[in-house]
């Protein structure tokens, strides 16, 4: 999978991609991530990428020209399966969307900033509009990092233990059950006996029961 991320502040995103699983996926050659600074595509000497909104009002709007140039350059080099625009008025990301998008080969992720992008960008180039929840961030960058993390960990081979992503919360529509590790008794706080019993079918049954219980308690809307 190749991900091209377009932003006015690409440095805002570098560290999440340079650590842990997202780093490992890139080091293993399973995913490549490329940042593009919109200012490099500005048409004028001031490297301007935003301007006042027509009709007036607060905030600035990202101009179409630099975005058009950047996307055109990328599309000239390869075909893209999706051009995703990160925006609080997009479809709210969930595990089902992450699963589907993780199967794509080349994607562009465009980060909004300020008041967003000129509507013509959305009309002409964008295939998917994604939000990460009902609250407002200063820009799409952190949301793009969240989206990419959710996709990258699903790319085959990225997680060492192939079953690991399958047992994540949400993957079967339920929250994940509680987990414990050593010691079995910490200052009198004991691990449930079933987990140390060595009885795998009983452990599995317990995990299913606990996943259901936890989902009922914390997220009944998922059931």
> What residues line the site for ligand 6GU (CB under 6 A)?
86-88, 112, 131-133, 135-137, 139-140, 143
The residue (of 3 and 174) whose beta carbon lies closer to ligand 6GU is 3
**Segment (H or E) for 4:** strand 2-7
**Segment (H or E) for 203:** helix 200-218
Kindly list the distances between the CA atom of residue 160 and the CA atoms of 21, 25, 35, 68, 100, in Å, as whole numbers in the listed order. Answer: 10, 10, 26, 39, 21
CB of 167 to ligand 6GU, least distance (A): 27
Rounded to the nearest 10 degrees, the angle between the axes of helix 141-152 and helix 20-27 is: 60
CB of 14 to ligand 6GU, least distance (A): 18
The residue (of 92 and 222) whose beta carbon lies closer to ligand 6GU is 92
CB of 158 to ligand 6GU, least distance (A): 23
Burial 14-41 (b: 16+ CB within 10 A, else e): eebbeeeebbbbbeeeebebebbbbeeb
The residue (of 66 and 140) whose beta carbon lies closer to ligand 6GU is 140
CB of 69 to ligand 6GU, least distance (A): 23
With contact defined as beta carbons under 8 Å apart, do 65 and 121 qualify?
A: no
The residue (of 109 and 174) whose beta carbon lies closer to ligand 6GU is 109
CB of 71 to ligand 6GU, least distance (A): 18
CA–CA dist 16, 35 (Å, integer): 13
The residue (of 7 and 215) whose beta carbon lies closer to ligand 6GU is 7
């Amino acid at each position: 999978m190749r991900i091209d991320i377009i932003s006015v502040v690409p440095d805002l995103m570098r560290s999440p991609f340079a650590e842990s699983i997202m780093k490992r996926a890139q080091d293993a050659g399973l995913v490549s991530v490329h940042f593009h600074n919109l200012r490099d595509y500005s048409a004028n000497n001031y490297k301007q990428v935003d301007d006042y909104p027509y009709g007036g009002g607060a905030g600035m709007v990202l101009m179409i020209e630099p975005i058009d140039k950047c996307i055109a350059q990328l599309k000239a080099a390869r075909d893209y399966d999706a051009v995703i625009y990160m925006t609080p008025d997009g479809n709210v990301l969930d595990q089902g969307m992450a699963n589907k998008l993780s199967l794509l080969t080349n994607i562009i992720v465009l980060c909004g900033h300020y008041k967003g992008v000129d509507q013509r960008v959305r009309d002409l180039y964008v295939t998917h509009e994604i939000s990460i929840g009902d609250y407002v961030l200063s820009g799409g960058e952190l949301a793009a990092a969240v989206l990419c993390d959710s996709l990258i960990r699903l790319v085959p081979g990225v997680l060492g233990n192939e079953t690991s992503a399958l047992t994540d919360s949400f993957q079967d529509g339920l929250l994940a059950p509680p987990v414990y590790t050593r010691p079995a008794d910490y200052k009198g706080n004991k691990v449930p006996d079933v987990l140390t019993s060595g009885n795998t079918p009983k452990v599995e049954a317990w995990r299913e029961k606990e996943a259901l219980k936890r989902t009922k308690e914390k997220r009944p809307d998922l059931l």
